[in-house]
Amino acid sequence: MKILNESVVLAGYLIAAVLFILALKGLSSPRKARGANRLGATGAAVAIGVYVLGHDIGNGIWIALAVLVGAAVAVPAARRVQMTQMPQLVAAFNGVGGGAAALVAVVEFTHGPDAWAAVVIAFTVFIGGLSLTGSFITFGKLQGIITSRAVVFPGLGLLLGALTLAAVATAVAMVTTGDLLFAAVLLGFGLVIGVFFVLPIGGADVPIVISLLNAFTGLAVAGSGVVLSNVLLLIAGTLVGASGTILTTSMATAMGRSVTGIVFGAFRATRRSGSDAGAESRPVRTVTPEDVAILLEYSSRIVIVPGYGLAVAQAHHAAAELAEILTARGADVVFGIHPVAGRMPGHMNVLLAEANVPYESLVEMDVVNGQFKSTDLVLVIGANDVVNPAAKSSPGSPIYGMPILNVSEAKQVVFLKRSLNPGFAGIENELFYDPKVSIALGDAKATLTQLLTAVKAAV
């Protein structure tokens, strides 16, 4: 259907670009954020709409079929995913976007581009392919299909270097000869390098890689925009590339890491030092949920520190109910949120919002750290690394330098933990052996449910 003329199509692209910018900007306020996301979706719909109405679309049936199948896959996945597993779903969506950008560039290469366009195509094919497999490896690590630890083997750095050199050589051959075979080989190098790029990244750094690969996909999309002479793709891709880079940096800063440290850390890393010498056999003070209920009765200032374990056990609703009951009895209860609690920055806020915890009860780390000295009881539920003093005291530890919640400043600390095993980052926690710390072992949800019963009984 060629209903719209070219200038209307271009005006539509401009509207879409403005809506994308407003969408990103609107996400700085929790209350307006949902409307902002709708603006973004509207922008995308406008852009696709003006293109379809402005051209005689060939292969319409194939395209419509692909869109229908894609939507049929994506909507149920996005609707049904548990909020705890949302980070890996975003990683998967990011990966297919990178793959799409790489394929678009490969197809455009068959049209015999000039040298300048061919260079951009080579870049897009490589980055798109890297983002595809990198994102799927990230997905595998977060989903537990692949070990979340850093996978490093001797010569990995050398292998990556050699692969990158080979990729550059292939790109040069592709641009000079214009042979499609070289484009396919370059895509292959991108895919392989994506795997080896993410494998050495482990533990708590994995979620940050999603953000980095998100920026990569943005760059690949921007590259496609240049190749297709489409301003909207160029603007949207560059926006995502730039904002993704900033976001990656601020996530890394929240963990006390640098982006290069995350990406290349494992290559330099030697053995993980830590306090693992005989640590397992030292005594810890364990308590029952009923004991914890009594402690709570005598506490007027309580801070709950939730971690990923809380979410995995689907216990965030129980934690919210506990906070509500204690607040109703006159206690001052807040949730102390570490910036990287959960699986990625801000994840815990999403999970607690899902459990109807008022936004005002979620206190950020810098604020809550000033309040622990006047706190009677800290309830750490399914968190470990974010309160682990090794981040301050042991320079060899993988989390060294990460800001933590100083829960040991409170009068009493109770951990609700499934086991004494180390957390996601795999580091022993010295805090467990502190005399004012006690531990209620068991599944977070079961323990919290017993705790709730005990608290309710003690009216």
Partner 1 sequence: MDAFAVITITVLAVFLGFEVVSKVSSTLHTPLMSEANAIHGIILLGAIMVAEQATEPLPLLLSVLAVLLATINIVGGFVVTDRMLVMFAAKPGRPARKESAK
Segment 352-371, which members bind partner 1 (CB under 8 A)? 353-354, 356, 358-364, 367, 371
Of 1, 3, 8, 110, the residue at the interface with partner 1 (CB under 8 A) is 110
Regarding 166 and contact with partner 1 (CB under 8 A), the answer is no
DSSP 8-state assignment for residue 413: E
Say how far apart CA 383 and CA 337 lie, in whole Å: 11
| Tokens at 238, concatenated | 């560059």
Find the binder of partner 1 among 210, 402, 410, 444 (CB under 8 A).
Answer: 210
Q: HEC states along 79-125?
A: HHCCHHHHHHHHHHHHHHHHHHHHHHHHHHHCCCCCHHHHHHHHHHH
Alpha carbon 51 to its chain's center: 33
By CB under 8 A, what part of segment 300-329 binds partner 1? Answer: 327
Scanning 49-57, 283-291, 310-318, 435-443 for contacts with partner 1 by CB under 8 A, the matching segment is 49-57
Specify whether the CB–CB gap between 411 and 404 falls below 8 A.
no
- In the shown chain, the binding pattern of residues 225 to 244 toward partner 1, with x for contact by CB under 8 A and - for none, equals xx-xxxxxxxxxxxxxxxxx
**Structure-block tokens of residue 115:** 């040298």
Binding to partner 1 in span 325-354, by CB under 8 A: 327, 332-334, 337, 339, 342, 344-347, 349-350, 353-354
Q: Which residue bears the tokens 């040991």?
A: 408
**Hey, which residues between 236 and 295 contact partner 1 (CB under 8 A)?**
236-247, 250-251, 254
Q: Which of residues 60-79 bind partner 1 (CB under 8 A)?
A: 60, 62-63, 65-67, 69-71, 73-75, 77-79
426 binds partner 1 (CB under 8 A): no
Residue 291 annotated in active site? no
In this chain, which of 54, 84, 88, 90 binds partner 1, going by CB under 8 A?
90
Q: Which strands sit side by side in the sheet containing 377-381, from one edge to the other?
A: 362-364, 332-337, 301-306, 377-381, 412-417, 437-441
Restricting to residues 1-40, name those near partner 1 by CB under 8 A.
16, 20-21, 23-25, 27-28, 30-31, 33-34, 36-38, 40
User: Any idea how long the chain is?
Assistant: 459
Q: Is-contact 109 187, C-beta < 8 A?
A: no
Taking the complex as a whole, the smallest distance from the CB of residue 268 to partner 1 amounts, in Å, to: 27
CB of 315 to partner 1, least distance (A): 17
In this structure, the number of other CB atoms found within 10 A of the CB of residue 12 comes to 21
Task: Write down the catalytic residue from 114, 179, 332, 385.
Answer: 385
Active site residues: 385
